[in-house]
Amino acid sequence: MRKYFTLIELLIVVAIIGILTSILLPSLQKSKHYSVQAVCMSNQAQLARATLLYTSDNSGRLMPVNRVSAYEAIDPLDSFFMHYQDRNNLGYLYTESYLTDSKVFYCPGIRITDEEIRPSASSTPVDGIKDIFTWEYYNELFNGYPSTEELPNLNTNYTGRVRSSYYFNPEGKIKTYKLIQEMDTESILTSDLLMNNFTSHSPLGNRWLVAKSDGAVKAVTSDKVKKRLYSGSDHHFVWSNFNLLFEDLLEASSR
């Protein structure tokens, strides 16, 4: 005689599967975020090592930044630009072949759908330019990532103004450095993108990654940084708080 499952038995099995899924899913999601963080840490470690190699070949000089006023600590540093009007910031590592994998310049936690990431809520595209910080965006835009020959010569009004999703030399009001020798061991060489409510590692607890001047990468947890990101009246990042934001990050990373 064939035995069949009763409805009660089937419901019990479904209930057990549901309970196990609810228990395991958060752990799986957390593991996914940790894997993203591991790639991001690897990216920043490669950026830091390449920067140290660059300084070694150039008498300790760091790559130029894109605005002279940043050295005077009077202007927020747009250091996520790999190209602006000329080669600068992390772009030198690519154009000078210290790094040849363009994906290293982008945090995997930022998706192509996050294309509304902007310095403030009121910021709008100018001449078709969007603040998009993904490798996929530029790869698609150029039908292949821009070559080292194209990068320095991109028209400044062109949509493809290239951005990295890591800040370079982002000391803000404290100091923007010209020489690696000026940096102490707590100085930040690169850091995660901090902009407009976007926190790429926030599922792990308001966490950001920074590479120090000795090349070491550190995960930093800071409620103060998160609060600063939501400091505007419309709960969007206030660009004038950029310097204060990095003071908070520097304080948290020095603990």
Which band of pLDDT confidence, cut at 50, 70 and 90, is reported for residue 61? Answer: very high
Amino acid at 62: L
Which parts of 122-216 are beta strand (E)? 166-168, 188-192, 207-212
Q: Is the pLDDT of residue 200 over 80?
A: no
Token digits of residue 245: 């934001």
Around 91, how many Cα atoms within 13 Å sit in the side-chain half-sphere? 28
Q: Which helix (H) or strand (E) holds 253?
A: helix 242-253
Report, as an integer, the average pLDDT of 210-232. 85
Token digits of residue 134: 């993904």
Three-state DSSP state, 210: strand
Using only the alpha carbons of the chain, give its radius of gyration.
Answer: 22
Q: Is the pLDDT of residue 130 over 70?
A: no
Q: Is the pLDDT of residue 38 over 50?
A: yes
Q: Model pTM?
A: 0.80
pLDDT tens digits, one per residue of 227-254: 887 776 665 666 677 778 888 888 888 8
181 or 24, greater pLDDT? 181
Range name among 78-82, 134-138, 196-200 with the lowest pLDDT average: 196-200
Q: Which helix (H) or strand (E) holds 139?
A: helix 135-141
Torsion angle of C-alpha atoms 107, 109, 112, 115, degrees rounded to 10: -90
For the chain, what are the domain ranges? 31-253
pLDDT tens digits, one per residue of 67-88: 766 666 666 667 888 865 566 7
Amino acid at 75: D
Which parts of 193-232 are beta strand (E)? 207-212, 217-221
Whether 78 and 193 have beta carbons less than 8 Å apart is answered as no
pLDDT tens digits, one per residue of 90-112: 988 998 899 999 999 999 888 76
